[in-house]
Amino acid sequence: MFHFSLSPRRTGRGARPRARLGAMLALAFLAGGLTAGPGNAAEGAGATAERQYCACMALARSRPDQAFEKAGQWKALGGGVPARHCEAVALLGLKEYGEAARRLEALAEDVKLARGLRVDLLTQAGQAWLAVGDLSRAYANQTTALQLAGARAQSGAPALSSVLPDLYIDRAVTLAQAGRDDEATTDLTKALALQPASVTALVLRASAQRRQGRLTAARADAEAAVKRAPNDAEARLERGDVRLALGDRDGARADWLKVLELAPREGAADAARARIETLDLKVR
């Protein structure tokens, strides 16, 4: 069997890079006839193609320019869906998000009968559309992925049940960027019902509720996130925001200074530094 893998997600603030294996499909379906012939020959061809796919995906993450070229050559030689997927992931690495999204959507259309794989591809396409700011297409792909995964989960497919929290989180990020914080909160509540220990969901829900003025609920989520992950820079950043909204300037500063200590070279540190500077200007 062929393991179809995903690259780390890009979901914005509060998110973590997440990688998982997608649906397992017969190599004959994925690579177009490589399993024909005697069993041993088919298994050998399958192992070779899987190694080629894994190597291409690894290259897509480290040297996307080289991976794109190699995937194109492989595709021309009949590499099928694996080669096309590697090519699309290489485009993500090259920050050609719109083209990557279009190719991922086309792949999802071509593998309609493989529902688990289609969920994976639509998830990636949604992330790519989000990266270029096309919120409507991101939302459409994420909603379809959720519907497909939810239907399979109800039929007892454990693999798809396990990805539902991440799918809700992805769509919540899109909704929040569209200014639909109430709907984002709903999706994050669903994610937390399935995965109560998700610090990412707690941080994002705290942020959404803070923007809605629900400061008591936002504080509860932010405190829970920091309690579960005291060294999480994003959790500290959000708790600082909530504390400031509640008038606790000293508490906010303490959290933001902690962010600088925990993640001095990450984006959260830049955000914390800007907040501290703004706070200092207001004091003067």
Angstrom distance (rounded) from CA 194 to CA 264: 33
Encoded amino acid at 65, one letter: D
DSSP for residue 7: P
Q: Are 238 and 268 in contact (CB under 8 A)?
A: no
Distance of CA 167 to the CA centre of its chain: 8
Give the pTM. Answer: 0.79
Cα–Cα separations (whole angstroms), residue 34 to 50, 115, 142, 217: 11, 22, 32, 55
Angstrom distance (rounded) from CA 47 to CA 39: 12
Angstrom distance (rounded) from CA 19 to CA 24: 15
Residue reference for tokens 């629900």: 214
Angstrom distance (rounded) from CA 195 to CA 174: 20
DSSP for residue 5: E
- The predicted pLDDT at position 112 comes to 76
Three-state SS for 111? coil
DSSP per-residue string spanning 173-238: HHHHHTT-HHHHHHHHHHHHHH-TT-HHHHHHHHHHHHHTT-HHHHHHHHHHHHHH-TT-HHHHHH
DSSP for residue 37: S
- The predicted pLDDT at position 37 comes to 42
- The predicted pLDDT at position 45 comes to 53
Q: Are 173 and 203 in contact (CB under 8 A)?
A: no
End-to-end Cα, the chain, rounded Å: 65
- The predicted pLDDT at position 35 comes to 37
Angstrom distance (rounded) from CA 7 to CA 21: 9
DSSP for residue 9: P
Q: What ranges do the domains of the chain cover?
A: 1-154
Angstrom distance (rounded) from CA 175 to CA 101: 18
- The predicted pLDDT at position 156 comes to 62
pLDDT tens string, the chain, 284 residues long: the values are 333 333 333 333 433 333 333 333 333 334 343 333 444 544 555 567 788 899 999 999 999 999 999 999 999 998 888 999 999 999 999 999 999 999 999 999 888 767 788 899 999 999 999 999 999 999 999 999 999 998 766 666 666 678 999 999 999 999 999 999 999 999 999 999 999 999 999 999 999 999 999 999 999 999 999 999 999 999 999 999 999 999 999 999 999 999 999 999 999 999 999 999 999 887 66
CATH architecture under which domain 1-154 falls: Alpha Horseshoe (1.25)
- The predicted pLDDT at position 237 comes to 98
